């Protein structure tokens, strides 16, 4: 790999051992990707808050030791300097306000707080969400980024036209400390063209529809770059695009898609393919739609619901408002826990807007900073949950050993109130 003089100096330790360890990670990772050089980045999102699972492995809660080992592959605690790139912490293992709901102890909460404080002291913004683009980190068109979190990666690549591969913890931490990431994959123009044409023969009107389509796309196309053709203009709102990408990145590895007239890099189907012919032409029919919904409900053996999860990826302001409206004048069943997940900054807005009070008066809770899949928790005694997110329906049954129901937000709120799934 060709390094600039400055990169060579960082690799040789002139900026300290931690930066040298970061450069070693980037060079090895870049060689695996086939990169000939690195590219500058000033926008990195990683996940380096460490909690009980990590401290148990090393037998220490020292944040510096945990960061050195798990983020920089060093068995020796390193003196980690301030980050060079603008850096944000993604979603983490615990809600700083509602950690007891998660079943965490005061000590486990304090460990996560110490890890957060350590990051903040190095200049990392503690966003604590899987949707940084909803709370102030909106990369510009064409900007080279280094982000973890598949749902965020596919959103900024597709909707905003920023450029990132799906980073891991170590490569994101290395990018934070060096301001560099390998110039490969989706950083390169020619790798961003569409590969497969998806003809959509179902009318796409609701966010639920986009969830289903996303899950179908990922399952059928894996890590391809789909181009959607609806025979007319699509008009998904940002929430639908958020849910679509998250679903496609969970059933498959979709990191970029093009919707002509909607997403950033494709005004037409021809432009999306960049002059190439599609590798495959796929059709999405009503039969595919129904089969996908059935697949997402396949783990459920009954209709009693113990837990309802809204906000995967973290809920937008519109979604919080909608949940509040759907709960107005209603009460969550005493046999059900209804938890809504959103960035802490949006929880604050929901509080000031009165939506939080409406939601909590109904008996629901609004959580932040984490989610059941990442934090690996569900309310005690949960056997069957319901969600309006194809991604959460995909992951949580395997992670928490529970059954899952998937449907619209309205169906989920109804289930929270009645304790029964009736969609
Ligand atoms: Fe976010 Fe957790 Fe879903 S990280 S995308 S809420 S699985």
262-285 tens-digit pLDDT: 999 999 999 999 999 999 999 999
pLDDT at 242: 98
Quote the pLDDT of residue 320: 98
- How large is the average pLDDT for residues 30-59? 93
Pairing of strands 38-40, 180-182: antiparallel
Mean pLDDT value across residues 216-235: 94
- Asked if pLDDT for residue 9 goes beyond 90, the answer is yes
Over residues 370-394, the mean pLDDT reads 97
Q: Give the model's pLDDT for residue 321.
A: 98
Select from 93, 392, 393, 404 the residue to mutate for testing ligand 1; criterion: most ligand atoms less than 8 Å from CB: 392
Ligand 1 center–CA 367 separation, angstroms: 12
Give the pLDDT confidence score for residue 51 in this predicted structure. 79
Closest C-alpha to 344, from 89, 128, 108, 47 = 128
Q: pLDDT-derived band of residue 231, with 50, 70 and 90 as boundaries?
A: confident
Ligand 1 near 391 CB (within 6 A): yes
Mean pLDDT of the region 279-307: 98
Average pLDDT of 370-385? 96
Task: Place 233 in a pLDDT band, splitting at 50, 70 and 90.
Answer: confident
Q: Over the stretch 95-125, which tens digit does the pLDDT of each residue have?
A: 999 999 999 999 999 999 999 999 999 999 9
User: Nearest-CA neighbor of 153 among 237, 242, 226, 269?
Assistant: 242
Instruction: Determine the distance separating the centroid of ligand 1 and the alpha carbon of 309, expressed in angstroms.
Output: 11
Residue 26 has pLDDT above 90, yes or no: yes
What are the angstrom distances between the C-alpha of 391 and each of 24, 306, 387?
34, 19, 9
| 196-222 mean pLDDT | 97
Return the structure tokens found at 208: 């639920």
Give the model's pLDDT for residue 105: 94
Average pLDDT over residues 57-81: 93
Please, which pLDDT band fits residue 50 given cuts at 50, 70 and 90?
confident
Q: Which of 344, 371, 377 to mutate for ligand 1's pocket (most ligand atoms within 8 Å of CB)? A: 371
Return the residue whose CA atom lies nearest to atom 2 of ligand 1. 371
Q: In a mutational test of the pocket of ligand 1, which residue from 314, 340, 346, 367 has the highest number of ligand atoms less than 8 Å from its CB?
A: 314
Q: Does residue 18 come out as left (phi exceeding 0), alpha (psi in the -120 to 50 range) or beta?
A: alpha
Under the phi-then-psi rule, with left for phi > 0, alpha for psi from -120 to 50, and beta for the rest, what region is 363?
Answer: left
Per-residue pLDDT, averaged over 193-216, amounts to 97
pLDDT for res 33: 97
- What proportion of the chain, given as a percentage, has pLDDT over 90? 95
Residue 52: pLDDT over 90: no
CB proximity list for 338: less than 8 A, separation 6 or greater: 307, 308, 310, 332, 362, 363, 364, 365, 413, 416
Q: In this model, does residue 53 exceed pLDDT 90?
A: no
What pLDDT band is residue 163 in, cutting at 50, 70 and 90? very high
Please state the rounded mean pLDDT for residues 78-85: 97
Whose CA is closest to atom 1 on ligand 1?
313
């Amino acid at each position: 790999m060709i390094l600039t003089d400055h990169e060579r100096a960082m690799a040789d330790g002139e900026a300290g051992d931690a930066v040298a360890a970061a450069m070693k990670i980037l060079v090895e990772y870049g060689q695996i990707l086939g990169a000939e050089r690195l590219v500058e980045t000033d926008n990195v999102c990683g996940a380096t808050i460490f909690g009980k699972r990590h401290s148990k492995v090393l037998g220490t809660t020292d944040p510096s030791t945990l960061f050195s080992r798990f983020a920089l592959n060093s068995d020796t605690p390193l003196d980690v300097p301030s980050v060079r790139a603008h850096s944000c912490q993604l979603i983490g293992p615990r809600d700083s306000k509602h950690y007891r709901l998660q079943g965490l102890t005061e000590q486990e909460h304090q460990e996560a707080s110490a890890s957060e404080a350590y990051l903040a002291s190095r200049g990392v913004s503690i966003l604590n969400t899987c949707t940084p683009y909803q709370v102030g980190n909106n990369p510009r068109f064409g900007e080279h980024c280094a982000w973890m979190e598949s749902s965020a990666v596919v959103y900024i690549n597709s909707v905003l036209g920023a450029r990132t591969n799906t980073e891991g913890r170590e490569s994101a931490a290395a990018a934070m400390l060096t301001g560099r990431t390998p110039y490969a994959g989706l950083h390169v123009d020619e790798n961003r063209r569409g590969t497969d044409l998806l003809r959509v023969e179902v009318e796409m009107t609701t966010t639920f529809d986009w969830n289903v389509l996303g899950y179908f796309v990922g399952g059928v196309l894996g890590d391809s770059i789909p181009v959607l053709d609806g025979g007319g203009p699509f008009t998904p709102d940002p929430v639908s695009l958020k849910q679509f990408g998250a679903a496609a990145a969970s059933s498959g590895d979709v990191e970029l898609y093009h919707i002509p007239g909607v997403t950033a890099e494709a005004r037409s189907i021809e432009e999306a393919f960049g002059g190439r012919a599609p590798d495959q032409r796929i059709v999405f029919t009503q039969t595919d739609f129904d089969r996908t919904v059935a697949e997402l409900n396949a783990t459920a053996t009954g209709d009693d619901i113990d837990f309802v999860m809204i906000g995967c990826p973290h809920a937008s302001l519109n979604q919080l408002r909608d949940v509040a409206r759907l709960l107005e004048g209603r009460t969550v069943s005493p046999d059900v826990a209804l938890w809504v997940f959103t960035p802490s900054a949006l929880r604050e807005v929901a509080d000031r807007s009165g939506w939080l009070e409406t939601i909590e008066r109904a008996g629901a809770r609004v959580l932040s900073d984490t989610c059941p899949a990442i934090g690996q928790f569900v309310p005690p005694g949960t056997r069957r949950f319901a969600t309006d997110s194809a991604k959460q329906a995909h992951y949580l049954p395997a992670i928490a050993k529970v059954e899952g129901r998937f449907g619209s937000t309205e169906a989920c709120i109804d289930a929270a109130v009645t304790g029964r799934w009736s969609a």
